[in-house]
Each structure stands twice: as C-alpha cells, then as structure tokens.
Amino acid sequence: MAVRDKCFVLKRFLLNDESNTLIAKCYFRILGKKSIIVPNYFSKVKLGSFEPFNIVDLFLEQRNNKLQLVDISEVIPFHKGEDNRDFYEKYIFLSKVAKIVLKFLNEADEDIFNLLTLTPQINNFFSFNYIRFLINLTNILGFSLENLTRPGWINLLSLTSCRSEELKNSYCVYLSPKEFGILKKVSDIGTRPFGIKKSIERNLESFFYRFLEFRKGQF
C-alpha cells in the first residue's frame, strides 16, 4: 500500500558507482528519519529532486521492510541564492542542521519537521540562526533555558546547576558567562539577529551536542 508523506532531504548517494538506484536519507513528517530507495533515478525521476535540503512531497511503498519511491507529487527546491559566498555559508549551515538530525533524531515529530522546513529560508546571520535552531530543537526535546539561571557547570539530568560533588560526572557541562549571555539573547524571540564569533558558536554547538548525546543515551 502506498503512503503519502513529506520529507526534508538530509543526504543522498548512489547505491554504487554503476547503479541507477539512489538512496536518500530523509526526515519525514509522519515516518521520522528513514532511508528510501529511488530506482531508475536517472530515467524516471526529475534530476535534482533529492538534492539535500529539498522538501519533497511523495508517495512511498514498503517492500521487504524497505521504503521505495512510487511517485513524487511536489518538490520545493533548496534555494541557493545569487551570491556564491552566501551560498557557501548557507550550505555549511544547512549541513550542520542535517548532521544533527542524522546523528541524534529518529522518531517522527511534527514540530521538528516544521522547524527543519524553515531552515532553507534563512539567508543571513547563519551563526545566530544555527544557535537559535539548536535552542528550538532542544526545547522540543525537553531542554529549556528557563531552567538555567546562571552560567557555570550545568547538570544535564536536571537542567540546573551542578553541585560541587557532581562536577566530575559526565552529565555536568560547563557554560561560560559569555556563552550563557549569548544563549539568553538568542533565545529571546524579539532579539534582532547579530554576529556571533565562530569560537563561541563551536562552544555552544558542543554544549548542545552533549545534551543531545546524553538524551540519546537515556532513550
């Protein structure tokens, strides 16, 4: 039986060097993160349909526990923009978003799907918007900055400050005053986008990775 669903394309690759079959990894609105088989890709499907970050409305059929493409209803292509430098930065930003999903997310969540579909519309302030994406994503998964009242060592179990006797535990993560301040500003929906240093972006990314890794280990 065919199933209709929408997906955000995370990555795609040919089955092998001589194959006409494409494998696409997607995050679906209903099915969650799944791989699909696209047979006869070069002859039966419009080229570019499964480029990363496209949003595809399609019909699928399950065969031997594998999802296979039946037909495509609509493709919303990833808009690359006109400026090459902006395109490069946007591609890096979206690649980070896709990496998060590939590494940490499996189950379907409509809020997460909707959040992903907004990312290709972002065209500037990519560091700011990447941190905001991480805040919004982890908020869906149970992380709330409202629980953090001050910088320092953060307990990923309770999402509050670590006690001194807990500091050696893996669930305690350090958040500097500057990083804490950036998080609070970015989380405020009324904050206008601003530039964030790459070093701070990396540190905050690492902080959220620790939360996501910890959460993945718990569920």
Tell me which of 59-63, 148-152, 154-158 is least confident. 154-158
CB atoms under 10 Å from CB of 80, counted, come to 15
The residues, ordered by sequence, that sit 6+ positions from 155 with a Cβ below 8 Å of its Cβ are: 161, 162, 163, 166, 171, 172
pLDDT of residue 110: 96
Kindly report, residue by residue over 203-216, the tens digit of the pLDDT.
999 989 988 988 77
- DSSP E strands in 64-137: the ranges are 66-76
Share of the chain above pLDDT 70, in %: 95
Whether 128 and 54 have beta carbons less than 8 Å apart is answered as: no
CB atoms under 10 Å from CB of 165, counted, come to 7
Averaged over 1-6, what is the pLDDT?
87
pLDDT of residue 13: 87
- pTM of this prediction? 0.89
Kindly report, residue by residue over 17-62, the tens digit of the pLDDT.
677 889 999 999 999 999 999 988 887 888 888 999 999 999 999 8
